[in-house]
């Protein structure tokens, strides 16, 4: 088990657009395992490779209460969106900040699994929110980018104050 360092704002590497994964290798599988360990330890419910300074299209998540239903999405792409929901979101890369974000209520996502097989999933609710949030990271987007300019400025100001109170070696 290796815990990875999670990038936090204002780190500009979070704006990097991730590249597709050509094939599932042992290194990709190990990175997915390390990302899951990191996500559980943080604790969080989702983590994109971009957040651990690996700029490839890999996302892990587990929204179960028991933290025993890990999911891995490679090269995820949303192919359908329906409806709208507002959900309070937080992010391991934006510690201590939470805000309501509007996203699709139901999505269909195509992705490759850890066996290199193409999959398709239609889902809604929290899982749909989490998938959309993590795919945003792969595009260099953080949830604050969905807020109004005023709310984003307020959140960034609060984030700066939180950063001032955290010791430098706290990551």
Strands 85-91 and 71-82: unpaired
Contact 66, 113 (CB under 8 A): no
The span from the CA of 170 to the CA of 34, in Å, is 19
Catalytic-labelled residue, pool 22, 66, 134, 164:
134
Angle at CA of residue 20, ends 17 and 26, nearest 5°: 120
Please provide the distance, in angstroms rounded to a whole number, between the alpha carbons at the two ends of the chain: 17
- Output the six-digit token pair for 12: 């500009």
Angle at CA of residue 109, ends 105 and 111, nearest 5°: 155
88 annotated active-site: no
Strands 94-103 and 118-124: unpaired
Q: Which positions are catalytic?
A: 134
């Amino acid at each position: 088990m290796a815990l990875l360092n999670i990038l936090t704002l204002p780190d500009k590497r979070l704006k990097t657009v991730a590249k597709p994964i050509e094939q599932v290798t042992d290194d990709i599988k190990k990175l997915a395992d390390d990302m899951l360990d990191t996500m559980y330890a943080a604790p969080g419910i989702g983590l994109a490779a971009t957040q651990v300074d690996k700029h490839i299209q890999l996302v892990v998540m587990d929204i179960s209460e028991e933290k025993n239903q890990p999911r891995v999405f490679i090269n995820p792409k949303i192919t359908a969106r329906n409806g709208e929901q507002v959900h309070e979101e937080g992010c391991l890369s934006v510690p201590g900040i939470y805000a309501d974000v509007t996203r699709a209520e139901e999505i269909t996502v195509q992705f490759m699994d850890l066996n290199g097989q193409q999959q398709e999933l239609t889902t809604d609710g929290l899982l749909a929110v989490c998938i959309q949030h993590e795919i945003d990271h792969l595009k260099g987007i953080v949830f604050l980018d969905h807020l109004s300019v005023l709310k984003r400025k307020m959140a960034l100001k609060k984030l700066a104050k939180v950063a001032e109170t955290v010791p430098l070696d706290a990551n």
